[in-house]
Amino acid sequence: MTYQQTDTSSFNAPRSREALETALDEGRLWAHMGRGVWWRVRRNGKTQTWKRDPERFRIPLKAGLRSYGEATAEALADDNIFRVEPKDL
């Protein structure tokens, strides 16, 4: 299996849940899968929020055929997990 190396140096990290969801809806969100490999991810369900803690959220994600994960507030705080592809590419 071959992977296409993607140069994410021009991509920006999302700063808010709204930016993350917009990038997901537009198909421009990439996630770091380890060993320098970045994969384009897509939504795999609806956003879950909590009434007691409005800053807390969970968005289920899917990458490729068998890889699953989630976007949370903790993952959003780490600048090395998600990147948003610029619109002009």
Q: What is the pLDDT of residue 4?
A: 53
Q: What is the pLDDT of residue 89?
A: 58
Average pLDDT value over all residues in the chain? 87
Domain ranges for the chain: 17-84
**Averaged pLDDT for residues 5-12:** 75
Label the pairing between strands 37-40 and 42-43. Answer: unpaired
Q: Could you tell me the pLDDT band of residue 24, with boundaries at 50, 70 and 90?
A: very high
Closest alpha carbon to 33 in 41, 25, 42, 45: 41
